[in-house]
Amino acid sequence: MSQSSSRLVELDFFRGLVLLVIVVDHIGGSILSRVTLHAYALCDAAEVFVFLGGYATATAWASLCARKTEAVARRRFIRRSFEIYRAFVVTAVLMLVVSAILLACNVDAPNLTVDDLDDLTLAPAAALRDIVLLRRQPYLAGVLPMYAWFALGAPLALPLARTKPWLLLAGSLALWALAPLVAPHLPHVEDMQWDFNPLGWQLLFVLGVIARTQPVFQRVSAHRFGWIVTVAALGVVAAAAVYRLHLGSDGLDAEFKRNLAWFRVLNFLGVAWLTAHLIRHGWAKRLARALPWIGLVGRKGLLSFVAGAVISLVVDSMLYWYTDGYLNVPLGLAADAVALGSLLLVARASDPLRRLLPAKAKACA
């Protein structure tokens, strides 16, 4: 992938597209989710989201170092880690509040955080403490603790990515290999585990960082045997698509996703390699310019994720309750339109609201 700033438009576009896909993928009766990445691959939007997170982190780090100093960049990412942690707490509370409201309205659905609410009712102080200590991660909030750790580790990873990328990659692979052994020791309450093991998923984050700081794609694709990598990527993507279309999700349990199984990584790398060719030929840039509203969602990444989590839970629960869990194409499409439209509305409204709030604060003063 290119290291030039001209690629930022593609970065925003792909981040926005992934956030929109994540919203519909968490709606059980969604029709659009039948044609998103997870329907044809052994990986899904989560892999893309984490990889792009690493790419965006490296972009922001390079910009801060160029405009200011590396010390400023380190402090900014430490603050960013706490911002993501705060967003996790907010998202966790919102999941509980939304679930409580829907249950009070007699809306019952599989993804409502019933167990967390029961524990909160029985021992509110202990339940809230568990959330603050990351021992309890309500539905859809679980990706944010992982991201907080990534932001905290960025000041260590980014200098290595620029000067000793192979050392960084070797360390990342070692952590990934150890991830399943460490998973049971991550802080968690009984009968609950982290949805995303950060020691496993850091591999994709590091690959995103390296893709931004080192011209890996350019060098390999320009080599006289670079076409072999492209053919191999096509083969991996095609084989995964055949498996998914013929065998569905047989054998793909939650443990494989939690610890980032090797076949998910391999499938994602195939998809990423082919996508890099689209970027090189300008197709992604043309799409990004034709659909600027998708890039807007990508630029509001953290806000869009938190809002998307709430929107997904509400729309999924209402659709399940209304259809009794059966697939309904017209209502599924309507749910997709409501969910995507709501997220776009949040992204568009965020800047005017941000400008309005300081003005109101000054007026009150």
Q: How far apart are CA 206 and CA 176, in angstroms?
A: 11
Of 168, 159, 148, 158, the C-alpha closest to 78 is 148
Q: How far is CA 279 from the centre of its chain?
A: 20
Domain that holds residue 120: 5-17+43-290
In a domain, 320, yes or no: no
In a domain, 188, yes or no: yes
Q: How far apart are CA 343 and CA 349, in angstroms?
A: 10
* C-alpha angle 130-135-136 in degrees, rounded to nearest 5: 75
pTM of the full predicted structure?
Answer: 0.93
pLDDT at 250: 60
pLDDT at 2: 40
In a domain, 248, yes or no: yes
In a domain, 98, yes or no: yes
In a domain, 315, yes or no: no
Q: What are phi and psi of 198, to 5 degrees?
A: -65, -30
Q: How far apart are CA 204 and CA 125, in angstroms?
A: 36
In a domain, 304, yes or no: no
- CB-based burial of residue 184 (10 Å sphere; 0-12 exposed, 13-18 middle, 19+ buried)? exposed
pLDDT at 8: 78
Positive or negative CA dihedral for 5, 6, 11, 13?
positive
Q: How far apart are CA 99 and CA 113, in angstroms?
A: 6
CB 209 within 8 A of CB 3: no
Sequence-separated (6 or more) residues with CB below 8 Å from residue 341: none
As given in the structure block, the two tokens for residue 217 are 């794609």
pLDDT tens per residue across all 365 residues of the chain = 444 444 478 999 999 999 999 999 999 999 999 999 999 999 999 999 999 999 999 999 999 999 999 999 999 999 999 999 999 999 999 999 999 999 999 998 999 999 999 999 999 999 999 999 999 999 999 999 999 999 999 999 999 999 999 999 999 999 999 999 999 999 999 888 899 999 999 999 999 999 999 999 999 999 999 999 999 999 999 999 999 998 876 657 788 999 999 999 999 999 999 999 999 989 989 999 999 999 999 999 999 999 999 999 999 999 999 999 999 999 999 999 999 999 999 999 987 766 655 544 444 44
For the chain, the farthest-separated pair of C-alpha atoms sits apart, in whole angstroms, at 67
Cα–Cα distance list, 87 to 49, 92, 142, 303, 355 (Å): 17, 8, 11, 9, 21
pLDDT at 255: 86
Give the chain's domain count: 1
pLDDT at 270: 97
Q: Where are the alpha helices (DSSP H) in 183-291?
A: 198-213, 216-222, 226-247, 254-258, 262-280, 283-290
Of 132, 96, 135, 102, the C-alpha closest to 116 is 96
